[in-house]
Structure 1
Amino acid sequence: MIGFTPPRRHLFATALLCSSAIIPFTATMAQAQDEQPKARVMDEIIVTSTRRETSVSDVPYNITAVSGSAIERAQIFDDAELLRSIPGVGVIDRGARNSGTLNQVRIRGLNVDGSGLGDYAVSSVASVSTYLNETPIFGNFLLRDLERVEVLRGPQGTLYGSGSLGGTIRYMTRKPVLGETSGMVSSSLSSVKNSESIGYSLDGVLNLPLGEDAALRIVGSYGDYPGITDYVNVYDLDANGIPVAPNGVLDPAASYSAVEDADTVDQWMGRATLLWEPSDTVDLTLMHIRQSDDVGGRRQNTFNQDGFGNAYGEGENGSIQLEPSTRDINSTSLEVNVDLGFATLTSSTSHYDHTGDSTSENTGFYAQAGFLGFYYNYPRPMASAVRSYADEAIVQEIRLVSNVGETFDYVVGGFYRKQQIESTQESYLLGFKQWWDTLLPGLSGLVTGDKDFDYRRVENFEEVAAFGEVTYHATDTLDLTVGARYFDNKSENDTFIDLPLYAGVFTPTNASFETSEDDILFKGNVSWRYNDDAMIYATVSEGYRRGGSNAVPLTGTFAEDPGWQVYTADSVVNYEIGTKGSKNGLTYDVSAFYIDWTDPQLNTATTNWGFFAVQNGSKARTLGVEASLDGYFGDSWHYNLGYAYVDAELSDDFFAPNNSVTPVAVDGARLPGAPEHMLNWALDYSAPLNDQWDFFARVDGSYQSETRNGVGVSPTFNVPLEGFSLWNATTSVTRGNFTGSLWVKNIFDEAGVTGVFTEAYMGTSPSEGYFGNANKELISLPRTIGLTGSYGF
């Protein structure tokens, strides 16, 4: 949500909003002293994480569920804010740019990748799997018209087709309602600090009955948000996209302009769901969703100075070129459920196609790359990396879930996925050919053009798995569950690399390699309900992430060490014990975990020629505690608290495949992006104002302690990131079908940095003609004030 409000107006609106929450709080507390109302009982959220409809309190492991109505009442608009409200879930907040390129969610600290990743697609699978209903896909879709979001901690491979290490997040959309014509329209206006304009969004939902046994639900969303980041030293370009040379091509002078609010965001999403229930025992759900994002630049600040000695200010980026990104995602799925009497047979078939591209400033990288400095040392250097990715898959899952029995229950399923992933990078030294031909006209044929790097990776994965669980009800209060998963994966990787700048110097190289792997994973769980409202549970579960090939050439100009050719699957053993229950209006969940991680995968680049690659380490481990409380004070006040302690570190030295002497990272290094302490809280108040109007107010927030930006020994990447807290507030009034809301995000305007490109990695170099500065901090959304009005019918 992006727009403009002067700072004083921000503070005034924030104070007004906070006062609106405090006033009813003091009044209610005074009333409570006199009346002492009984505590309200929590409304249970029904989830399907166990493949059956089950209350959250009856699931014998650590799960958090957030209802769609709660997301809407709190005016939560993006994943970063949502996931911060869930104990123990971390997220690297990159804003809208490249938001679908890389899944940067971390659960229980299971991650070794640096927090600055995200400009390009990586080969390894994320440590946390994400689902849209029954489709395993990472799409970072807009949070619109959801039934609920389920966050499952720990490996889930014995219940779900897609494997995972740290956990699974399921985004469950609302299904059509039979026999009902209904809908909702909503509109928001918003203003963000540092922006010069107002942002707006429009949303709509329409539910239409199609006879007695079918219904259609259509959801649409559009958002247009002006930027908040000023690119203050961007080259002026000529008609060919080359920096203007005001004093001639050979003179070092350049012409610069400032582009205000460059990181504009234009998003739209459409979803159509058809439900058909031809009989009491059969239902079919067909859904298609499409989302498109068009983003003008980074929501990332540059620190320190440019090459002229001018300090960068708040909301300013030092890139000498704009850095837009686009993406489109389409997903179609068909889910069929058949009640067989003794069990339910479910088939889920889906196809998705996800593509995106972006332009990144790379001049700052060359400026700090030592020996590469000569490579681009020409007047007005402009290194531009144009990257793209494509991810397409067909997924089929089928499972049989027994009815609840007196002695045994079971879930058994099969999973198939055929996936193709493509990633490209074309890098340009814009203006280099023009300068070379002017300086050395007799050697103009030696330089082929401005393209200096050409890379393409195409990976084909085929995955087959069988999974299942059996639960033995030993007594009315004691359950024992065992599960297993067998998988068989095949991978083929083809890569192409060329350095085409100088004619005849390098020969383009193709490389191809195939790998396969199979294994069996196990799970055991015991739960004891020691009274009607509480249970103790313990779990030992194995998880894995598939391996593959980097497909590097072993001979010729671009030869790499054979150790880079293949990376293996990494795996975890998760040990967990916990208790959950409810008493006197309070719901609680406390768990402790210990995870052994073998062969952790690190996304990096090869030593010689910089192929994008994955390498394995030796061992890591995480341990910690997660706790949550949820309850009411009387009938009007609702609160929830969450806390997580995570101690995540390498438990052995980490070596590159071609160097077993000097470690990349050392035993005991803290894993990046994993705060040791995380805290989240929310307090809301709801009550009627009079016979016609209802009132709602909420204050919520999150805190995370210091993190590391990387795991390696090099200070170029492994720097500390300060802890921070974010506060939000919402107040709403409702009359009949209309609701109006005033909300503030990031009340105290915290930077909330979750990743950096350090100056040692991407900086400035005036001695070589580069006067910009490419370092940057990945910041949270600055203080934002908005108004939302919605009408249901």
Structure 2
Amino acid sequence: MRQLTRSFRIMAITSVASIALVSPAIAQETNITQDAPATSEVSNEIIVTATRREQSVLDVPISIAVVTADEISKRGMVSAEDYLRGIPGVNQTSDPVGSSIIIRGLETSPSFQNFSSGTTVATYFGETPITNSGGLAANTNVDIKLVDIERIEVLRGPQGTSFGDSSLGGAVRVIPARPKTDKVEGHVGAGYSHTGGYGGDNYMLQGTVNVPVIADVLAIRATGYRFSDSGYYRDNANVDPTLQQAAVFYGAEPYANAYSNIGSSKFTGARISALVQPTENLTLQLSYLSQKTELNGNALANSGTYDQALFDVAPQHVIRGQKSGASDMDIDLFNATLEYDLDWGSLLATYSHIDSSALNSSSYSQSNPIWPFSYIQDGKHKEDTGEIRFVSDLSGRFNFLVGAFVQKLTDDAIFNYRWLGTDVANAVTPPGPNDFLDNRSLKQKSAYGEASYEIIDGLTATGGIRYYEYERTVATQTSGAFFGDSNEVIASKSSGTTFRGNLSYKLNPTAMVYATFSQGFRLGKPQPGLPAGVCDLNNDGIVDGSSVTLASTKLTRSDETNNYEIGSKFGLFQNRLTGSVAAFLMDWDGVPFRTSAPQAPTGCGLTYNANAGSARTKGVELQASLAVTDSLRADFGGSYIDAKLTEDAPELGAFSGDRLPGSPKFNANLSLQYDFDAAGHPTFIRVDSIYVGEFYGDIYQSPATKAGDYVKIDLTSRIKFGQLGVDLYVQNLTNEDVYTFRGTSDTGRDFFGYRMRPRTIGARINYSF
């Protein structure tokens, strides 16, 4: 099997390299019409709204990847990791408290982002920003499942003017399908699969129905889904010699037990939308979404390939009876969007409300030394956003858009730590709970505008600006010897401006070149900082064991990126070959890092965020789609990213030239799809492969955080019987047993991190009407 795996990997890498490392299937910019004559022009135009106006993706002068509804269906995509890791210039990491998106290498803290510096990528579901919806107890945004989705737009490069805060590296927009007032339609689907190794059975059910209540005036669209996936890790704490030794030493033997099916999950969701169009020019859409996520255990390996050895959680931290730990996330999202077409432009007003929560319990025993600690994180997130914008549609050379945005959000989180061993053996902290209460609030408002002018036929200049101001408050309360006793409120406010400039030239109707300067920003924030009671014992205002002031640990400043980019979009051979290429250089100022105070005995060892200096990332992204014949299509792509610090940060032990974490230098993709007729039934077979290069989970390039360097191959086949489709598929064909991400815990173990799901074989049935 190892030889087979190696052969597949070499074959996939060689195939991709031989066609110049260009775009992945899932990042395709056009769909190829399968029954087009060999000499005719292939045309199935994709319309996007990445620039806040409807345009063909080949006319948008920015680097953008599009995942279509057809692609989602054919590949059975469910979660963000199903498509993000296969897009040039993009990586995605997952851990038990969520996922992180990294575009063009811009990241310093790939794990636990919301609590630390925040994400570098803005995420949207329709018109609703969901960037912070994971709250303080999770990573970034809630991963809303890809059911009844029209398309996904991945915008590479800073999007500060159009999409505001957190779009330092780019933005990801998931666009759900809208209700249709002219026809009844829908689909139902069911699936079963089995995961090898320690895995088991997986199930899926989903359905959508669209009903015009009043023809051409009122329609309702409803979607529901349930995904149940087995875990594929095993906890062998009862026999692991290292953990057993710690259990005896600290008197924690009752909490060293064995469990199977670690990492099993359930996702249950529903969405309902109503669209009202009382006149031809006026449209109102109301939508509500609810999703509940349940994850059992801590889905990581720390004692073997898919093995772990962790203490149970404390009785007070047990969730849903899961003594091995659990993670639950819930989101309720309401949106109202009003659109009015003025003929010479369109006016849009939108309001969204989010209620979300994250509850995580875990053992601290993956650390080094192995301490029998248990902790729970309970976070609540509330957010209200509103936006109004006008987009012109003038017939002349000049067009513009203007908009205003307001946001108010609050995050509340409680972090509780408990000792599992005997009081006598407790060398870390005196008996009793240790609590950390964190409350944060944000008020933000901004105004933005953009104007474009066609200087001569085909040559267009565009300029944009966004002004923002914000106020942030953090209130913390700590108790217990682990954190010390404190009660503190810190506030800050600031403002800023970002700019965008673009020059594009249409060489012909299917080819464009462009040059762009754009900026992105992430809001600064006050933060809990380090507690004086345990990190400044001599009360001199300096963190013990360092030269860092205690006050500086309580604030991170806003950071921003400047992006310089040139690129091209093209359609050749009657659009049988379409694609894009972009080269970029980005400067990142005020880079924040998650770092630690010196360890005992000189310091307290607690973590905090710090602006560490500056960084630069540069690279190339290529993607293309080729209709080889009427029946055979190839999508291919890849990227090279060089992301490094450009300024020493000696207090963090990081220096100029150190590589930024979380993103590989290289990734590549190759997908092939062959369509044919099987006894009168339309059939296709496709293979999708991605290569994710080597990367590290921290700035120090620690061996324990090395991940990536793998090829993942999936096979799918579908045969259609009228409106019924039957899929057979294999995911992770070669059964790659590799790390997809490794965190920053100092485990001192060869095995620590989050591994790819073993080979999974399954079938799906879909019926459309």
Shift of 1:555: 5.4
Matches of residues 709-720 of structure 1 in structure 2 within 5 Å? Answer: 709-712=697-700, 715=702, 719-720=705-706
Q: Which residue of 1 aligns with 2:125?
A: 132
SS of structure 1 residue aligned to 2:83: helix
Q: Which residue of 1 aligns with 2:490?
A: 513
Give the whole-Å Cα distance in 2 for the aligned partners of 1:447 and 1:698. 57
- CA deviation map 1:394-431 (0-9, x unaligned): 00111010014312111110011111123332111124
- Counterpart CA distance in 1 for 2:299 and 2:43 is 39
* Distance in 2 (alpha carbons) for counterparts of 1:455 and 1:609: 16
Shift of 1:330: 0.8
> Residue 60 of structure 1: SS of its match in structure 2?
coil
Q: Give 2:161's aligned residue.
A: 158
User: Structure 1 residues 431 and 450, CA, compared in 2 at 3 Å: closer, same or farther?
Assistant: farther
| Structure 2 equivalent of residue 233 of structure 1 | 237
Structure 1 Cα separation of the partners of residues 670 and 41 of structure 2: 19
Task: Give the C-alpha shift of residue 255 in structure 1.
Answer: 7.8
Counterpart-to-counterpart distance in 1, 2:86 and 2:488: 45
Q: Write the distance in 1 (CA, Å) between the matches of 2:742 and 2:676.
A: 44
1:50 paired with 2:51, answer yes
Query: Which residues in structure 2 correspond to 1:674-693 (within 5 Å)?
Result: 674-691=663-680, 693=681
Separation in structure 2 between the aligned mates of residue 246 and residue 755 of structure 1, nearest angstrom: 28
For residues 119-172 of structure 1, give each alpha carbon's deviation from its aligned partner in whole angstroms, at most 9, with x where no partner exists.
x84242210110001111022111111000001111112222445100000000
Q: How does 1:281-680 map to 2 (within 5 A)?
A: 281-303=281-303, 312=304, 314-321=305-312, 322-365=324-367, 367=369, 382-433=372-423, 449-451=431-433, 453-500=434-481, 508-552=485-529, 556=533, 559=536, 561-584=550-573, 585-606=576-597, 609=604, 613-656=608-651, 663-680=652-669
Contact 2:226 2:267 in 1 (8 A): yes
Report Cα offsets for 1:290-341 as digits up to 9, x if no partner: 11111112332224xxxxxxxx3x3211212212111111111111101123
CA contact (8 A) 1:495 1:551 kept: yes
**Secondary structure of the corresponding residue to residue 338 of structure 1:** strand
Q: Does 1:780 align with 2:756?
A: yes
Single out whichever of 222-231 and 644-653 deviates more from structure 2: 222-231
- When the two chains are superposed, the root-mean-square deviation of aligned CA atoms in Å is 3.0
- With 389-398 and 590-599 compared, the bigger mean Cα shift is at 389-398
Displacement, 1:39? 6.6
Indicate the residue corresponding to 2:138 in structure 1: none
Cα deviation for residue 594 of structure 1 reads 0.3
Q: Distance in 1 between matches of 2:332 and 2:106?
A: 29
Displacement, 1:393? 0.7
Within the alignment, does 1:216 sit opposite 2:197 as a pair?
A: no
Aligned ranges 1:101-116 → 2 under 5 Å: 103-113=99-109, 115=110
Cα 1:250–1:286 change in 2 (3 A) is closer
SS at match of 2:401: strand
Specify the SS of the correspondent of 1:71. helix
2:516 partner amino acid: T
Deviation at 1:449, TM superposition (A): 4.6
Aligned match of 2:210 in 207, 210, 213? 207
Distance 1:250 1:108, change over 3 A: closer
Q: Percent identity?
A: 28
Instruction: Tell me the distance in 2 between the aligned counterparts of 1:776 and 1:670.
Output: 21
Q: 1:367 to 1:58 in 2, by over 3 A?
A: same
- State the match for 2:729 in structure 1: 743
CA 1:555–1:84 in structure 2 vs 1: closer, same or farther (change >3 Å)? closer
In 1, the alpha carbon distance for the partners of 2:39 and 2:628 equals 8
Q: 2:176 aligns with which of 162, 173, 182?
A: 173
SS of alignment partner, residue 277 of structure 2 = strand
Q: What amino acid is aligned across from residue 414 of structure 2 in structure 1?
A: T
- 2:152 counterpart of 1:149: yes
Residue 31 of structure 1 corresponds to: none
**Paired residue for 2:24?**
none
Q: Secondary structure at the match of 2:58?
A: helix
**Cα drift, residue 388 of structure 1:** 2.3
- Alpha-carbon deviations, 1:695-717, whole Å to 9, x = none? 0111011112211221037x476
- Is the contact made by 2:400 and 2:450 (CA closer than 8 Å) also made in structure 1? yes
Distance in 1 between the 2:524 and 2:144 partners? 27
Q: 1:517 to 1:256 in 2, by over 3 A?
A: closer
Which structure has the larger Rg over C-alpha atoms? 1
Deviations 1:658-696 (A, max 9, x none): xxxxx52011001112211110121111233243x1101
Pair 427,250 (structure 1): closer, same or farther in 2 beyond 3 Å: closer
Counterparts of 1:336 and 1:64, CA distance in 2? 27
| Gap change, CA 1:250 and 1:735, over 3 Å in 2 | closer
The one-letter code matched in structure 1 to 2:281 is T
TM-score scaled to structure 2, two decimals? 0.85
Q: Offset of 1:790 from its aligned partner?
A: 0.8
Contact 2:210 2:220 in 1 (8 A): yes
Alpha-carbon distance between aligned partners in 2 of 1:778 and 1:750, rounded to the nearest angstrom: 13
Q: What do the CA deviations read for 1:559-588 (whole angstroms, capped 9, x no partner)?
A: 551221211001111000011110111102
User: Residues of 2 paired with 1:447 and 1:542: CA distance?
Assistant: 46
How far apart, in 2, do the equivalents of 1:430 and 1:554 lie? 24
Structure 1 residues 467 and 174: alpha-carbon distance in aligned structure 2, compared to 1, 3 A threshold:
same
Distance 1:256 1:571, change over 3 A: closer
State the SS of the aligned residue for 1:81: helix
Contact kept, 8 Å, 1:509 with 1:553, in 2: the verdict is: no
**Deviation of 1:214 (Å):** 0.8
Q: Deviations over 1:98-127 (max 9, x none)?
A: 22xxx51111101112x4x24x84242210
Which of 172, 189, 195 is the matching residue for 1:186?
A: 189
Distance 1:182 1:532, change over 3 A: closer
Letter aligned with residue 470 of structure 2: N
Is this contact kept in 1: 2:708–2:741, CA < 8 A? no
Q: Structure 1: how far apart are the matches of 2:300 and 2:474?
A: 33
* Cross-structure match for 1:726: 712
Distance 2:607 2:532 in 1: 18
CA contact (8 A) 1:159 1:411 kept: no
Distance in 2, Cα, partners of 1:549 & 1:394: 21
| 8 Å CA contact retained: 2:90, 2:102 | yes
**Do the aligned partners of residues 554 and 106 (structure 1) sit closer, same or farther apart at CA in structure 2, a change above 3 Å counting?**
closer
Quote how far apart the aligned CAs of 1:447 are. 9.2
Contact 2:469 2:494 in 1 (8 A): yes
Does the Cα contact within 8 Å between 1:701 and 1:725 map onto a contact in 2? yes
Equivalent in 673, 679, 687 of residue 699 of structure 1: 687
Q: In structure 1, the residue corresponding to 2:263 is in which secondary structure?
A: coil
Q: Is the 8 A contact 1:697 1:732 kept in 2?
A: yes
Three-state SS of the structure 2 residue aligned to 1:52 is coil
Q: Which residue of 1 aligns with 2:768?
A: 792
Contact 2:287–2:336 (CA<8 Å) still a contact in 1? yes
SS in 1 for 2:552: helix
